[in-house]
């Protein structure tokens, strides 16, 4: 990371200047835990959004995409957990719009300056009496240090809140990027920035001033290098959403192709990458954090195909859970991935231990490989030896607890 970037300890979505947030209990969750969050910018903020490519898009995603097409700036994001408002038809869309209008009324701002987001159970209509109560509570609870409470309120099967923030200085003025994310299961996002076009929800704030076109460029680049490299269980959600807001409160303007833009991109990448990795570490029932490094592929697409196949393989994931160094499963996944390579040239390592050489067993004692797999975190390196392209993904094992959580899931 750029040495000029400073990590903010316990930073989050309200670390940047001019933002307030709240997390409250509206009664959507059976557990009685906090289930509604509100982020408010004191100034109007430019925004960029990246959303699920799932055909069954939730009502809040559709409303967000509508706001994108309308243009304009935003001042607030209202988020609920406990109900996804997905596969709910016209009534669900009306409910998502109502969330915006209720929030706007409470804050005395324009309805078009509010974005909605939801996570939870699919196919259930929103209990709007509870939503209205939660919005009323949240609007009076917002505060400049409310980011941590908001991060708690957007959790579903997450076991810990996920926050990150970083800053840098430009001519004596401090610029901050902060964010929060939720996601522990149903995580294999493939979000795309929508300029005209158990879930991951991510909200990033900055006090820099950035025009919309450049903001979308920053978001598109960072999403590809962070959230889209995560794969917990291979399931894409109906609700995946990432929102990036820029309110200009720092007094620093970021322009394209400048040293300031380089610093901003580095700070943004730190925040999104930290949040992306934290989702894997907190995946449902996860006991192993696995980094997949595919190198020397004929093309980047081949490297991506190979990484995604291995990260999606239940046989690989269950072997990792059991600490079983069954490298044949990873080789098989690479083989059916659709990537083009010569199997007789492939090498593979578990951390620094060679496992496969020229497509065959490298002779490293299985006991040594099993020791590597006892670690909470390890890296699997697959060298295709047929080009110069590479790709990295972050994934995990599948445990008994994953099955239990999802067999009994009801937020």
Among candidate residues 199, 205, 206, 273, the one labeled active-site is 199
CA–CA separation, 5 and 169 (whole Å): 8
Q: Which residue has the tokens 């889209």?
A: 228
Known catalytic membership, residue 199: yes
CA–CA separation, 130 and 81 (whole Å): 12
> CA torsion, points 253, 257, 260, 264, in degrees to nearest 10?
90
**Which residues have a catalytic role annotated?**
199
């Amino acid at each position: 990371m750029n040495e000029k970037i400073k990590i903010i300890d316990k930073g989050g979505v309200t670390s940047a200047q001019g933002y307030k947030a709240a997390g409250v209990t509206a009664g959507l969750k059976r557990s009685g835990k906090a289930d509604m969050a509100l982020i408010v910018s004191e100034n109007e903020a430019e925004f960029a959004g990246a959303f699920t490519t799932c055909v069954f898009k939730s009502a809040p995603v559709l409303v967000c995409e509508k706001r994108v097409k309308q243009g304009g700036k935003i001042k607030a994001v209202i988020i609920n957990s406990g109900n996804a408002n997905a596969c709910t038809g016209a009534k669900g869309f009306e409910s998502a719009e109502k969330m915006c209008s209720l929030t706007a009324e409470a804050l005395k701002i324009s309805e078009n300056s509010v974005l909605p987001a939801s996570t939870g159970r699919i196919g259930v209509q929103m209990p709007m009496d509870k939503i209205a109560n939660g919005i009323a509570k949240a609007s009076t609870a917002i505060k400049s240090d409310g980011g941590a409470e908001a991060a708690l309120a957007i959790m579903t099967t997450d076991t810990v809140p996920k926050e990150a923030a970083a800053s840098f200085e430009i001519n004596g003025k401090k610029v901050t990027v902060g964010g929060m994310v939720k996601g522990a299961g149903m995580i294999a996002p493939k979000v795309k920035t929508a300029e005209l076009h158990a879930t991951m929800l991510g909200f990033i704030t900055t006090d820099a001033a950035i025009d919309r076109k450049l903001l979308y460029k920053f978001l598109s680049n960072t999403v590809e290098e962070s959230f889209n490299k995560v794969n917990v269980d291979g399931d894409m959600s109906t609700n995946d959403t990432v929102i990036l807001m820029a309110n200009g409160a720092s007094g620093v303007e970021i322009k394209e192709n400048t040293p300031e833009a380089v610093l901003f991109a580095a700070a943004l990448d730190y925040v999104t990458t930290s949040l992306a990795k934290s989702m894997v570490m907190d995946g449902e029932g996860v006991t192993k954090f696995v980094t997949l490094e595919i190198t020397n592929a004929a093309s980047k697409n081949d490297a991506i195909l190979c990484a995604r196949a291995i990260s999606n393989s239940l046989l690989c994931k269950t072997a990792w859970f059991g600490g079983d160094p069954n490298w044949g499963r990873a080789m098989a996944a690479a083989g059916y991935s659709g990537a083009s390579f010569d199997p007789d040239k492939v090498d593979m390592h578990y951390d620094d231990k060679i496992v496969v050489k020229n497509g065959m067993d490298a002779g490293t004692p299985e006991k040594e490989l099993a020791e590597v797999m006892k670690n909470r975190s390890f890296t699997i390196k697959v060298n295709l030896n047929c080009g110069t392209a590479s790709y990295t993904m972050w994934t995990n094992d599948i445990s008994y607890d994953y099955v239990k959580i999802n067999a009994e899931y009801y937020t």
